[in-house]
Amino acid sequence: MANPTVKKATGRDEAIVNFGARFLGRLDRWIYRMTGGNKKFRLLGRGKADALLLTTVGRKSGQKRTTPLLYLKDGDTIVLAASKAGMPHHPLWYLNITANPEVDVEVGREKIAMVARQANAAEKSRLWPRLVEIYPAYAEYQLLTDREIPVIILTRRPASR
């Protein structure tokens, strides 16, 4: 878990991350949709990591919320890390999916209805190294926080009849 020699984030640090995530998230969402997720123009998803847009339903507001996130493709599933840059609290999108696991995902110009669930211990032990491989900062984020960073698995929702 957390490394005692690493400086823990403060409430001020988290406030700065929250503000940056809101501002950059709006900008990246716009760029993503304008370019169809083209990697050359995105703020997220450079290097080995790809990005998607995750739309959840707010657990308090009931309104749709869209967040750009890095992801890992694992067969037919999509894998996310609820890292929030190693801050002490979970990201809001994670709290939203714990309340309502039905989500929508945009990968490029494709829109997919999916269901989210938290990876079990065996799944996380298999997937976490792959997440760190595509985005090495995840390992540092885990050292910065006392919370265990959840790994989320998204699967396609069955078509309704």
> Does 1 reside within a domain?
no
Alpha-carbon distances, residue 112 vs 37, 51, 87, 106, 117 (angstroms): 15, 14, 29, 6, 16
- pLDDT tens digits, one per residue of 72-99: 999 999 999 999 999 999 999 999 999 9
Q: For the domain that residue 125 is a member of, what is the CATH number?
A: 2.30.110.10
Query: How much is the pTM?
Result: 0.84
Helices (H), the chain: 11-35, 92-99, 121-134, 137-144
> Does 136 reside within a domain?
yes
> Does 16 reside within a domain?
yes
Give the confidence band of 26 by pLDDT, cuts at 50, 70, 90.
Answer: confident
> Does 18 reside within a domain?
yes
Total domains, the chain: 1
Is residue 141 over pLDDT 60?
yes
Domain interval for residue 133: 11-156
